Chains A and B, each alone.
Chain A
């Protein structure tokens, strides 16, 4: 069983390293990342392509194992987790929002949202989830399939899907990367609103400083490391 501990930090990363073995060559994607995120924080991770943002996202989301270092998510040590335990973690502790929405095209918005619940073995939507849907502005679009929704609507459905199992952390990877400015701002407003109203911890990866400015705190990455001095403290 993964080790658990009670901590005010919902994410704690110490000396995290990730090495990919590709074509007989070792590529060091993360080189000793240090990161702490407090419960209820909205943190943006910013950095250029190849800085290791996506690798960090994948490890925090349990999609890939770390090579070495400590990774604690909501008091659970990821180092001790096998593939099966990481799969279970993705069901309940982490909600993903992707740049390309990643909705299943054959299902309606409603079914896309509640499929996540079915996979997690949950039967009922959490109390107040209707309010979340209203806040996201998709209550009257639930019967539509993704192809009948705008990019902004699809991303809001993806956010609803990420939240339906009440995860400890919402991980968003370039959530506005495919949206125009108006829709980007709407989605970012929603994420910030969600964070303020429900205390949802959000870790957003972006290469866009304007998007990052919506977060409480910005963490910069370069060459597989978190820069010592974080830029643009927003701190409401």
Chain B
């Protein structure tokens, strides 16, 4: 019966209930989308690295796992690496940031195709001219590009030679020498991809490179590199998400607290009736907490639905700009965030109601 009263109270003030739940829902959707976006970007980078087909990744010793900046690696290291035992192919890559969260990669395309097995062309073909550019299908779809189009990047007009399936190396791929020239990085690269003649020797060769190239380059297996692409590997990102989560708990606390406080003021007389019927203070507090919990759960459901819609819209309309993944494993945590804020928000109004004098409450007009 108490649950029915809770449900009927929420139903009776449906506009307030809906507005409260929508506010909670928007906050849940925001944090769920943020998590989906963070993971999506990391997963996309991991997939691109994995898609290169390389076994080992050599990068400047001082760089972190994720760096969009071109590293100060001299191109002369590539032939040196190529001469090392068990190296089938070494390919130097120059990475330059584009549009904040993606990059354009310069690479010797025939060499890269030898380690990766080649791009899968959906339109056009391999670059032949110095200004030829490959883009992935999501970017081409978002920008409505076709082979032959001119794409301006780094104050340079590129000729779109091919549209390729995504998930390999980068969204934009051009010839290494041209990108070096355009970005004033002649003779420099950012990283070296290494394909071994025997992938089973990966760990052994990582150790070998770390000895031979100590102080200049750091070797990491692609498998280890890919495994580092999760939120917990990036303390600053994790801290940022935790700060945002805390802020949202506070906002949900305020939203639900305000809603419950108004409800208590509006229902003073009803609280008096319950007290006259023998409801204990705990029963009154329990009633309001249950309302807050139901409001939070409703908000959570709305939030998850909004997050799914948002993701669908992003993936459909701007697939190349943002990569958002569904994060069903985060949904229970989102529910916990909504419930924490809601229960905290209901405590003060609930205690106020529980302490209400029955006679005064019954005479409230």
Contact = CB atoms under 8 A, between A and B. Distances in A.
B273 interface: yes
A120 B362 CA distance: 19
A152 B273 CA distance: 19
Interface in B323-365: 358-359, 362
A223 B355 CA distance: 31
A43 B275 CA distance: 25
B8 A88 contact: no
Q: Is the interface of B mostly helix, strand, loop or mixed?
A: helix
Q: Is the interface of A mostly helix, strand, loop or mixed?
A: helix
Contacts of A61: 276
Contacts of B279: 87, 119
A64 B4 CA distance: 29
A114 to B, nearest CB: 6
Residue from A58, A107, A161 whose CB has the most chain B CB atoms within 10 Å: A107
A64 B359 contact: yes
Interface in B172-230: none
Contacts of A98: 276, 362
A61 B272 CA distance: 13
Contacts of B273: 102-104
B269 A58 contact: no
Contact of A106 (B8, B269, B359): B8
A123 to B, nearest CB: 10
B274 interface: yes
B278 interface: yes
B1 A111 contact: yes
Interface string B258-277: 00000000000110111111
Residue from A96, A103, A117 whose CB has the most chain B CB atoms within 10 Å: A96
B283 A119 contact: yes
Contacts of B269: 102
B276 A96 contact: yes
A220 interface: no
B11 interface: yes
A120 B283 CA distance: 11
Interface string B274-296: 11111110010000000000000
Contact of A90 (B2, B12, B270, B277): B277
Contact of B276 (A102, A111, A117, A118): A102
A119 B359 CA distance: 18
Nearest to A84: B280
Interface of A: 58, 61, 63-64, 84, 87-92, 96, 98, 102-107, 111, 114-120, 161
